[in-house]
Chains A and B, each alone.
Chain A
Amino acid sequence: MVELSVILLSLILLLALTFLRRKSPPPTLRPIPALTRLYRAIGLSVEDGSRLHVSLGRGGLLSGRGGASLAGLAMLRYLTERTSASDKPPVATAGDPALAVLTQDTLKAGYEAANAEDLYQPTTGRLSGPTPFSFAAGAMPVVRDENVSANVLMGDFGPEIALVTEAAERSDVPTLGGTDDLPAQAVLYAAAQEPLIGEELFAAGAYLGAGPSHAASLIVQDILRWALILFLLGGAALKMLGVI
């Protein structure tokens, strides 16, 4: 019953805040260096005719890891719309077949939204490999050989993502990375130029101006986080007092 209450509360808050924020100016957010750098990478990609590589990992959509993949898809959609006019379209890799199909669909939708349907190439959305290491091995040549100016890794990865960041490092390509997997987060913290920590992965849309629902999401997350903190502190206090 607690789960249902949390979901319903989040749903109501998200709907209400999205509606209220429709005509409000964008909220003031703390700076995240990784996303500031991504802004610059988007501009650079359009200007110098290079491309962005977006990797969505291998999180199956029927598993609990699907959330990070969906956040990556939202980022892919945003980046496709912004860079569709450049000479080299963004290229996306995934390690799950269903995610690869969604990647192609998202790329196509991004081109349509930018009124550039003719520029869409189906081969820019790829299944790089169906197992963790084959996924990494398939993504490495994309970073190395396809004139990539920035590497955006957002989704569910394992420690094997270090192989992709190493390929990027050798090609002097900056990497921005965020994941929901704890060991992979530690790896990205050490290996990526711009790591996203924890929920920053899900906040990217709000920072890049993807719409009022993304800004509302951040507020809902903050409300729930404060509620959890108060709940934990209250529980600890009651335990200390011997009430529970």
Chain B
Amino acid sequence: MKYVSAFFAIAFGLLVLAGYFVPVLEPLQALLISWAGILLAVASLIGVFNLITVHGEKIRSREKNSGYSSLLLVSLVLTFLLGLALGPSHPVMQGVVESIILPVEASLMAILSVTLLYAAIRLLRRRVDVMSVVFLLTVLAVLAWSLALPPYGELALFGNTLRPWLTQVLALGGARGILIGVALGALTTGLRILLAFDRPYGGK
């Protein structure tokens, strides 16, 4: 079984990769990717069952904060039934999204901004080194130089010269360097999987 799954993974991986370079294989590549899309949709359903199992287990074993799990399951079932009965474009379903899900996510975003500020303050307590100081000073400089100070507005030297130089030359150069490293890492990781050195699809 181990060899069969590895064979199929390698064969289909190579076919999809070859589709980018050999025009004759493009239709086959599109077909395989569309199959993968269908499998991903099925995976979404499995994911929902996984969510139900995990939270059901929490309720059954009366784990700490299992009340939230009950709330999640009740909301999930209600939304699912409403969606089935009314359809996703019905005003009630739109209302669920716009009145519950979006405000909750917006609240989390607000908490995130405070959390980030707090993390930045805590950074020097956790790691006192040159890079941490440079990181914090850069953040502060970019933020400060982005401000328009009344009544002067944006400070000419900082706003027009130093900030663009810092963000578009130094920071962008560093970001490109990191992205090149990430791209090379992703390339070799993909090749390892294509050669079955790593098998995220199971097997010893």
B-binding residues in A (CB < 8 A)? 3-4, 6-7, 10-11, 14-15, 18, 60-62, 67-68, 70-71, 73-74, 77, 97-98, 100-102, 104-106, 108-109, 112-113, 122-123, 125-127, 130-131, 133-134, 136-137, 141, 145, 159-160, 162-163, 165-166, 169, 180, 182, 185, 187, 189-191, 193, 197-199, 201-203, 205, 211, 213-214, 217, 220-221, 224-225, 228
Contact = CB atoms under 8 A, between A and B. Distances in A.
Interface string B114-144: 0110111011001100000001000000000
Nearest to B107: A133
B198 interface: yes
Given A7-B17, A74-B200, A190-B116, A199 B184 contact: yes
Contacts of A104: 50
B44 interface: yes
B108 A112 contact: no
Interface in B158-204: 175, 177-182, 184-193, 195, 197-204
Given A67-B185, A185-B178, A98 B200 contact: no
5 contacts: A61-B36, A62-B37, A70-B198, A104-B50, A199-B184
A131 B108 CA distance: 12
A205 B166 CA distance: 34
Chain A CB count within 10 A is highest, among B48, B116, B198, B201, for B198
A225 B179 CA distance: 12
Interface of B: 17, 20-21, 33, 36-37, 39-40, 43-48, 50-51, 53-54, 57, 63-65, 68, 104-105, 108-109, 111-112, 115-116, 118-120, 122-123, 126-127, 135, 175, 177-182, 184-193, 195, 197-204
Given A67-B186, A73-B200, A199-B184, 15 more contacts: A11-B195, A18-B197, A61-B36, A73-B198, A109-B203, A123-B53, A123-B54, A126-B50, A159-B112, A191-B116, A199-B185, A211-B197, A217-B191, A221-B185, A225-B180
Interface of A is mostly: helix
A62 B33 contact: yes
Nearest to B47: A97
